[in-house]
C-alpha cells in the first residue's frame, strides 16, 4: 500500500541555518504530496503542497519539489528561525482515495537562538 | 470565522468505557474526517463523512464509529476502550470530499 517515510528527528539547528527534511513515498501513479506543520499544543496546518511531478510548493520561505524519479518531496528552507520549531509531517493523497491523507511519522525541528 | 472546533480538549477514561468526541467544521464545509495520532507517530485516517454519508474508512476495528449530523458537525464514538486507544484525535473539515483539509486542535484521550 501507499506509504511515506521521513527522516527521524529531532533535527537541531542554529538560527539562520539551512534546513532539509527528507521525505520519500511509495505509491502507484501520481499522488498529491503535502507538508504539514504542527506547533506545540496545536493541530496540523498545511504548509505547502504539490500535485504533479516537477511542481514546486512554497510558503513562508519553505520549499519542496515533487520528484517522481526519486519518489521524493524534501522540505527545505534557506534560513530557519526560532519560530520554525515544530513537528513537520510529509503526507500524500492518492487516486480514488484523495480524501484520505497518509502521513509520515513526523520530524521534530528545534531551532536554537 | 471560527476554525474547526473539537470538544473536549482533554479526556481521561477507564478501560472498557465508551467515549464520544465532537467536531464542528468550518462554516460552509460539508466534509469531516477523523484521524488518530498516537504519541510520536503521524496521524492515521479513521473516517471521512461527506454530506452525512460515510465516504471512507481506515483500518480500525468496529469499536470505532462515527456519524455526521444535518448541520455537518460530527461525532466519533469508541466503545470498549483499550489502553492503546490513548492518542490525540484530530478532526479535519473540507469544503468537499476532495478539497484541502483544515485541522482542529484535537482531543487528547487518555485511557487508564
CA distance B4 to A16: 33
**Percentage of residues in chain A having pLDDT higher than 70:** 96
Q: Other C-beta atoms within 10 Å of B25: how many?
A: 27
> Which of B43, B90, B94, B105 to probe by mutation at the A interface, max A CB count within 10 Å?
B43
CB within 8 Å: A105 and B41: yes
Q: Are A4 and A57 in contact (CB under 8 A)?
A: no
Summarize pLDDT for A35-91 with one digit per residue, the tens. 999 998 888 999 999 999 999 999 999 999 999 999 999 999 999 999 999 999 999
- B72 bridge partner residues: none
Distance from the Cα of B18 to chain A's closest Cα (Å) equals 24
For residue A4, give the chain B residue with the closest CA: B42
Identify the pLDDT of residue A9. Answer: 86
Distance from the Cα of B83 to chain A's closest Cα (Å) equals 21
Mean pLDDT along residues B75-99: 94
For residue B9, give the chain A residue with the closest CA: A41
Grid cell 468550518 is found at B26
Q: Are B41 and A105 in contact (CB under 8 A)?
A: yes
pLDDT category of residue A96 using cuts at 50, 70 and 90: low
Mean pLDDT along residues B69-84: 97
Summarize pLDDT for B47-68 with one digit per residue, the tens. 999 999 999 999 999 999 999 9
Closest CA to B86 of B65, B107, B111, B64: B111
Is the predicted pLDDT of residue B97 greater than 80, yes or no?
A: no
Summarize pLDDT for A60-69 with one digit per residue, the tens. 999 999 999 9
Strand bridging mode B5-7 / B102-103: unpaired
> Which of A42, A57, A100 to probe by mutation at the B interface, max B CB count within 10 Å?
A100
From B31, B43, B102, residue closest to A103, measured CB to CB:
B43
Identify the pLDDT of residue B1. Answer: 59
Is the predicted pLDDT of residue B27 greater than 90, yes or no?
A: yes
Amino acid at each position: 500500500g501507499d506509504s511515506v517515510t521521513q527522516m527521524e528527528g529531532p533535527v537541531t539547528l542554529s538560527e539562520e541555518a539551512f534546513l532539509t527534511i527528507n521525505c520519500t513515498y511509495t505509491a502507484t501513479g501520481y499522488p498529491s504530496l503535502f507538508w504539514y506543520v504542527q506547533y506545540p499544543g496545536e493541530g496540523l496546518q498545511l504548509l505547502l503542497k504539490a500535485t504533479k511531478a516537477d511542481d514546486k510548493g512554497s510558503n513562508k520561505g519553505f520549499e519542496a519539489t515533487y520528484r517522481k524519479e526519486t519518489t521524493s518531496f524534501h522540505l527545505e528552507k534557506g534560513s530557519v528561525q526560532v519560530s520554525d520549531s515544530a513537528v513537520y509531517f510529509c503526507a500524500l493523497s492518492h487516486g480514488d482515495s484523495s480524501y484520505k491523507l497518509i502521513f509520515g511519522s513526523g520530524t521534530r525541528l528545534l531551532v536554537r537562538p | 470565522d471560527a476554525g474547526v472546533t473539537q470538544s473536549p480538549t482533554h479526556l481521561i477514561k477507564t478501560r472498557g468505557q465508551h467515549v464520544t468526541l465532537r467536531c464542528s467544521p468550518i462554516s460552509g464545509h460539508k466534509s469531516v474526517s477523523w484521524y488518530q495520532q498516537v504519541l510520536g507517530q503521524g496521524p492515521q485516517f479513521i473516517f471521512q463523512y461527506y454530506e452525512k454519508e460515510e465516504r471512507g474508512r481506515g483500518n480500525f476495528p468496529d469499536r470505532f464509529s462515527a456519524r455526521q449530523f444535518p448541520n455537518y458537525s460530527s461525532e466519533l464514538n469508541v466503545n470498549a476502550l483499550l489502553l492503546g486507544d490513548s492518542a490525540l484525535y484530530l478532526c479535519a473539515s473540507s469544503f468537499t470530499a476532495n478539497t484541502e483539509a483544515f485541522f482542529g486542535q484535537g482531543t487528547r484521550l487518555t485511557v487508564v
